[in-house]
A = this chain, B = another copy of it.
Amino acid sequence: MTDALLGAVQAGVEVVDLGRQLRVGMPQSPNHPAFWHTLPRRHGDMVRSDGSSAANDMITTGTHVGTHIDALAHVSFDGKMHGGVDAVAAGVGGKYDELGVHTIAPMVRRGVLLDVAGHLGVEHCEGGYEITVADLEATSARQGVEVGEGDVVLIRSGWGSRFAEGAPYVGGPSGVPGVGEAGAQWLADRRVHAAGADTIAFERLAPGGGHALLPAHRVLLVEAGIYIVEALDLEGLAATGWAEFTFVLVPLNIYGATGSPVRPLAIRSAATA
């Protein structure tokens, strides 16, 4: 007898890729080491006696680069991480044994898209726009979807459509749209498992303000223990019209790190004629 999950998979699924392609020069926060990829060995560099050759790669990168997840160890407030863990002491040894990205279990669970830009009828919210609780609730109602405990909630501001522009995506003078403290609290009240957005820092960045204050990070990572996923590509997902789906996210299991590049998926059973 076939496993129910495998049966559903074999009946056909559609997969939407929510991750950005990792390319040298892509927009990212200057606070983090830049992504770089190079080929130390190319075909023809060293040919084996049987005529074969192998090419390989070298990568250097921060972990909060490209589409990525923030582990709870990423942020502290008043010297404490989530659960009251002493933040300075936790870093001694150079690995966050507690709350590092290796403690995030692979996610295979319900995902919900809140397409705020779609609801507002704009290509993208303006830089610095704060997505309000009213926006979240109206979007949810319009889409006929409830945010439930344990869900992963993806908030689309449309700002991700600017990723290819490079520097403007990062914000700087314009700021970046996103939820503020109130929106983060709304998510925390619903006890979601993780929250994501199509922007570089998940939350609203004020014009010219950079990353100086990140209250939603405090609410989610420190107070509520909710993971944050950033720099998602939600354009393709919005185009599907899916409001709920199976969400899969598997962080690299980097011992003691504060985050990981990820390539999350939204999956649904294929439509049948």
Residues of A within 8 A of B (CB): 3-11, 13, 15, 17, 19-25, 30-34, 36-46, 48-64, 73-79, 81, 87-88, 90-96, 102, 105-106, 108-110, 212-215, 217-218, 222, 244-246, 248, 250-259, 261, 263-265, 267-269
Question: Are A94 and B40 in contact, CB atoms less than 8 angstroms apart?
Answer: yes
Q: Chain B residues near A102 (CB, 8 Å)?
A: 21
* Inter-chain contacts of A36 with B (CB < 8 A): 33-34, 40, 58, 60
A112 to B174: give the CA distance in the assembly, Å.
48
A13–B5 CB distance below 8 A = yes
Contact among B10, B78, B250 for A248, CB-based, below 8 A: B250
Cβ contacts under 8 Å, A15 to chain B: 105-106, 108
Contact pick for A87, options B53, B217, B261, CB 8 Å: B53
Question: Contact: A250 with B253, CB < 8 Å?
Answer: no
> Which of A17, A33, A55, A90 has the most B CB atoms < 10 Å from its CB?
A55
Nearest Cβ on chain B to A181's Cβ, whole angstroms: 11
16 A-B pairs besides A10-B110, A57-B257 with CB distance below 8 A are A4-B269, A13-B108, A22-B252, A31-B56, A32-B56, A36-B60, A38-B38, A40-B94, A45-B93, A52-B217, A53-B87, A54-B258, A60-B60, A250-B250, A250-B264, A250-B265
